[in-house]
Amino acid sequence: MALFHLITGWIGYVLMCLLGLILIVFLCFCLYIKYIHLKYDHIPGPPRDSCLGTFYILFSVFYCIFDRSETYGPVYRINGMHIVMLFVTCPDTTKVNLLSRYSKYSIVLLFRRFLGSGLITAHNHDAWYKQRRIMDPAFSSLYLRGQMGAFNERAERLMDKLADMADTNTAANMHQMFNLVTLDIITKVAFGVDLDLLKESDTLFPKAIEMCLKGMVHYVRDSTFQLYPKNKKFINEVKESVKLLRSTGRRWINERKMAIQNGEDVPKDILTQILKTAGKEENTENEDEELMLDNFVTLFVAGQETTANQLAFAIMELGRLPEILANVKQEVDDVIGMKQEISFDDLGKMTYLSQVLKETLRLYPTAPGTSRFIPNDITINGIPIPAGVTCFFNSYVCGRLDKFFEEPLKFDPERFHPDTAKPYYCYYPFALGPRSCLGQSFAQFGHTTHSMVFLYFYYFLYCKIILKTSTL
């Protein structure tokens, strides 16, 4: 009996302590919310949906962010689960923040390392800077000029495939075609591997990338997504896809390492540069390998879907707008004529095509935004912003606001005519500043008509398609 009393006494005591602890946590939470209210409530923003703040962050529903930008102005606040996020369309703030050394977010996809500390997601400025300097040569115009053959060949393969489909009256899903061909190009030009996915119809690799991207969208939209049991099957598929991408990377990296060790002549491509990122930090061998794999996956994710989607959106608009299509055809006929091979210099002459592609990214930016953590107090449009928030900059929203672009929903390549004034920090489909897209750094070479390096080569696919369709 005494033992029983002792045990119940202890249980009562533990319960009391637990209750006390819960009460303290609850009070701290209330104080925290009060503090957040006092600190940030002067910034305009929608009311909170519930006691948890704004539960749905709605990153992917851009029209929602867009509507709010119209309602609340150049900077507004959302308290997502009481974490303050700012959505900014003010050009001056965009300029200052994106051109400065502010840090970014990181993604560990569904508990499995995905982009890790690779170029896009690296937090530490110095570590990122070292990687970027190493990668730059593989994106130089010098290296990419030498890859024209690979681009010509892959584009020809696509043309042959389309011609076959035309002969048999088979409908072509252009988005899917572009997905395969951009994957082919990246694997060849960046990693020296010839996949020929258009022919092989091996869907394992493209599917793995698609699953990873789907997983990433879910993760960004709701980071608690992985905790719900009903999502388990999907999550396992994503995990398997990440595993496949990283194990493929490991295999290709090891093959290249062996080739270098055996004194073979290896291309100075992205894979060779990725190998150089190892041994630069005080990392263990395992950490080095993981970093290399982060960059391997990063380049697929950054370079493949973005370009494939841009191509697909442009084809969609050209299909809708025969006049613009006729202008593009005319330019391609004038510059390329009957030539079989398209040269690097030909691409620079395609001014109108370049305008079409820029306009495509205004309406359909395939990497729609970026974010920066703000460590110091700043002022946006006269509103004081206390330090400690993350600012989101959305090119999709800016591209559709009529204060920046007249008749924003009209597809009009003339907006990007070389004689027209450049949009002032409201058009940034490749982000801006030091963390801008690595595939876009051609501007640094002082080339004004075309501001892309890697992407530049995708113009090429257009030329081919336009040429082919005019002869079919």
The binding site for ligand HEM (CB under 6 A) comprises 104, 119-120, 132, 186, 298-299, 302-303, 306-307, 310, 361, 366-367, 370, 429-431, 435, 437-439, 454-455
What distance in Å separates the CA atoms of residue 241 and residue 424, rounded to the nearest whole number?
40
Which residue, 104 or 447, is less far from ligand HEM as judged by CB? 104
Which residue, 352 or 393, is less far from ligand HEM as judged by CB? 393
Q: Decide: residue 224, CB within 10 A, 0-12 exposed, 13-18 middle, 19+ buried.
A: exposed
* Residue recorded with tokens 């559709």: 400
CB of 418 to ligand HEM, least distance (A): 20
What distance in Å separates the CA atoms of residue 460 and residue 454, rounded to the nearest whole number?
11
CB of 132 to ligand HEM, least distance (A): 5
By beta carbon distance, the residue nearest ligand HEM is 303
CB of 191 to ligand HEM, least distance (A): 10
CB of 166 to ligand HEM, least distance (A): 27
Q: Which residues contact 262 (CB under 8 A, 6 or more apart)?
A: none
Contact criterion met (CB below 8 Å) for 132 and 438: yes
Which residue, 351 or 451, is less far from ligand HEM as judged by CB? 451
Q: Supply φ then ψ for residue 303, to 5 degrees.
A: -100, -25
Annotated binding site for heme: 437
CB of 333 to ligand HEM, least distance (A): 25
Which residue, 235 or 370, is less far from ligand HEM as judged by CB? 370
Q: Which residues contact 114 (CB under 8 A, 6 or more apart)?
A: 107, 108, 212, 215, 216, 242, 297
Residue count of the chain: 472
CB of 104 to ligand HEM, least distance (A): 6
Which residue, 206 or 429, is less far from ligand HEM as judged by CB? 429
Which residue, 33 or 96, is less far from ligand HEM as judged by CB? 96
Contact criterion met (CB below 8 Å) for 425 and 94: yes
CB of 162 to ligand HEM, least distance (A): 21
Which residue, 134 or 235, is less far from ligand HEM as judged by CB? 134
